[in-house]
Amino acid sequence: MSADLGVWAYAITRDDGGTDVSSLTGVADAGVRAARAAGLTVLVSDVDLAEFGEVALRRNLEDLAWLETVARAHHSVIDAASRLFPLLPTRLATVYSSDESMAAALGPRREELLAALRRVGGRVEWGVKAYAAAEAEPDDRVPAQAADAGDAAGGRGAGLAYLKRRRAQLSSRADAWQSALAAARAVHAHLASHAVLTRLHPPQSPQLSGSQRPMMLNAAYLLDANDGTGFAARVAAAADTHPELELDLTGPWPPYSFTADDGQDGR
Amino acid sequence: MTLARDIVPADLPAQRVALVDLLDRVLAGGVVVTGEITLSVADVDLVTISLRALLASVSALATPAAEGTT
Amino acid sequence: MTQPVRYRLDGDDDPRSAERGLASLVLTIVELLRQLMERQAIRRVEDGTVTDEQAERLGCALMQLDERMSELVEKFGLEREDLNIDLGPLGPLLGD
């Protein structure tokens, strides 16, 4: 008995009729084909619903190993294709029951998608994350045995002294935070002025980012494809100007963050 | 994909940074085009217990005057 | 670098890892409460709504709690930083 198949989507592009994606390999080692839908072209793979159907997806998406494998395969198709023509990545785990249902879903969105394609044509995304740099006094722990001058008689006043020390530490941390936040805003404003569009993402939690340092900025910038070197130089200069931040630049990416109409105008 | 960094937080292995950035984009980015019989899952939490939710729920439990108690 | 703790206990074969995951979850809650109580105490001392004796007892209790947290964390082979709590700026609590 043949498997029930679904249609896994990678990206949307214009229907130019000449899209050759036969050399690409996608999720679950499936081949990639260009499907015509609603006057657009969608890069897709045919996938087994036993692994990629709704129930299976909800289970598999919580398996980090599975998710990593599929996410990398998904991205590799998008990345390779984005070097050939402008495209809009579709969100991971967009699965249709058939080409026909995919066309029905895309039909109403056709003009909006064409506009988005024009917006990203010849452009790439760069990401900048800013972390608050490690403070001068990293050790937040107050030693319990610290004895101030007035604590002689059996540690009298030690409790009050502890509270005063903690208040001072928290206060200086607050100042450092404010300083890093102001710096992050300044850096974003500066970088945004050199971008076509920008998108601010929520800062990542330490569990997600893997960093002990708080994330002060998580932004995406849409740039003309040949602006990358200049942009990287600006980020490096911004890092020099703001030692209270650690900056992390990644890219170029396909325009994941710029498929919808709500990016902020840079210029 | 090129990584152009000036200062990198010393505690981030390169592999983990790449995966986090990737998942951030493929899970929360990209266009969402859903129809009646499509399946699309968005905003999957990688940490199944969110500390923010935890903080919101325990902050109501924190009592101010914990005198002499642990 | 220590791996950020994943709080999923199923699908992990190592019982010690599960125990460690549970311990760090519990300690995370305790640490949250400790930090919240500490900030409340600092605020009340600032506001002058506690007597000197009360402030002294509060401070001693919190100091001991802090020390106890370090012991517990070490007992489970963790670092304080693993608990990864950051309540952010103190400003609002002090009425800045």
Q: How confident is the model at residue B61 (pLDDT cuts 50, 70, 90)?
A: very low
Res A155: pLDDT:
63
Alpha helices in C1-96 (DSSP H): 15-47, 52-75
> Is C16 touching B (CB cutoff 8 A)?
no
ipTM for the predicted complex comes to 0.74
Give the C-alpha distances (Å, rounded to integers) separating A208 from A38, A212, A220, C5, C61.
38, 10, 17, 10, 33
pLDDT at A69 over 70: yes
pLDDT digits (tens, 9 = 90+) for A166-208: 999 888 888 888 899 999 999 999 999 999 999 998 887 766 6
Q: Does residue A127 share a domain with residue A112?
A: no
Among the candidates A79, A105, A120, a domain finishes at A120
**Per-residue pLDDT tens for B28-42?**
788 888 754 455 554
Considering the domain architecture, whether residues A168 and A251 belong to the same structural domain is answered as yes
Q: Are A90 and A166 in the same domain? A: no
Distance CA A256, CA A238 (A): 24
Which residue bears the tokens 């979850």? C25
Alpha-carbon separation of residue B36 from A98, A99, A110 (angstroms): 12, 13, 17
A132 and A259, same structural domain? Answer: yes
Neighbours of C19 (CB within 10 A): 12
Whose tokens are 């080692």? That residue is A29
Burial of A225 (0-12, 13-18, 19+ CB in 10 A): exposed
Q: Which tokens go with A118?
A: 């024009």
Contact A206, A264 (CB under 8 A): no
Check whether residue A35 and residue A138 sit in a common domain: no
Q: What is the pLDDT of residue A170?
A: 85
- Which chains reach chain C with 3 or more Cβ–Cβ distances below 8 angstroms? A, B
| Pairs of residues, one from chain A and one from chain C, whose beta carbons lie less than 8 Å apart | 82
pLDDT of residue A149: 42
Indicate if the pLDDT at residue A23 is higher than 70.
Answer: yes
According to DSSP, residue A2 is labeled P
Q: How many CB pairs under 8 A join A and B?
A: 166
Q: Say which residue, B21 or A80, is predicted with more confidence.
A: A80
Q: What is the pLDDT of residues C31-56, one digit of tens each?
A: 878 888 888 888 888 888 888 898 99
Shortest Cα distance from C80 to chain B (angstroms)? 16
In chain C the first and final C-alpha atoms are separated, in Å, by 35
Which range marks the domain in which residue A217 is found?
123-265
CA torsion sign, A230 to A233 to A239 to A242? Answer: negative
Cβ C91–A174 below 8 Å, yes or no? Answer: yes
A193 and A257 co-located in one domain: yes
Task: Give the distance from residue C12's alpha carbon to the nearest chain B alpha carbon, in angstroms.
Answer: 14
Q: From A120, A137, A154, give the residue that closes a domain.
A: A120
Decide if B56 touches A, using CB distance below 8 A: no
Number of structural domains found in chain A: 2
The two structure tokens encoding residue A5: 């198949």
Residues in Cβ contact with C41 at an 8 Å cutoff, skipping those fewer than 6 apart: A163, B64, B66, C50, C55, C58, C59, C62
B35 and A101 Cβ atoms separated by less than 8 Å: yes
Distance between CA atoms of residues C79 and C1, nearest Å = 11
Helix (H) or strand (E) holding A124: strand A123-132
Better pLDDT: C49 or A135: C49
Task: Tell whether A103 and A198 lie within a shared domain.
Answer: no
Measure in Å the smallest separation between the Cα of A204 and chain C Cα atoms. 12
Q: Are residues A110 and A184 in the same domain?
A: no
In angstroms, rounded to a whole number, what is the distance separating the alpha carbons of residues A200 and A208?
Answer: 17
Report percent pLDDT > 70 for chain A: 87
Average pLDDT on A1-7 reads: 80
Residue C36: what pLDDT? 82
User: How high does pLDDT run on average in chain B?
Assistant: 49
For residues A51 and A96, membership in a common domain is answered with: yes
Instruction: Please answer yes or no on whether A167 and C42 come within 8 Å at the CB atom.
Output: yes
My answer on whether A232 and A143 are in the same domain is yes
Give the pLDDT confidence score for residue A195 in this predicted structure. Answer: 96
C-beta atoms of B9 and A6 within 8 A: no
**What does the pLDDT look like over A95-108, one tens digit per residue?**
998 999 999 999 99
Mind listing the pLDDT tens digit of every residue in chain C (96 residues)? 333 433 333 444 555 666 667 777 788 888 878 888 888 888 888 888 888 898 999 899 999 989 988 988 888 888 877 775 555 544 333 322
Asked if C26 is an interface residue toward chain B (Cβ–Cβ < 8 A), one would say no
> Does residue A258 have a pLDDT over 90?
yes
| Whether residues A106 and A150 fall in one domain | no
Of B13, B54, B62, the CB nearest to C37: B62
Give the CA distances from residue C22 to residues A232, C10, C32, in Å, rounded to whole numbers and listed in that order. 43, 11, 15
Whether residue A141 is predicted with pLDDT greater than 70 in this model: the reply is: no
Quote the minimal CA–CA distance from C20 to chain A in Å: 16
- pLDDT tens sequence across A202-255: 887 766 677 778 889 999 999 999 999 999 999 999 999 999 999 999 999 999
Asked whether the beta carbons of residue B4 and residue A232 sit closer than 8 angstroms, the reply is: yes
| Assessment of whether the complete model's pTM goes beyond 0.80 | no
The torsion angle over the Cα atoms of residues A60, A65, A66 and A67, rounded to 10 degrees, is 80
Regarding whether A179 and A261 lie in a shared domain, the answer is: yes
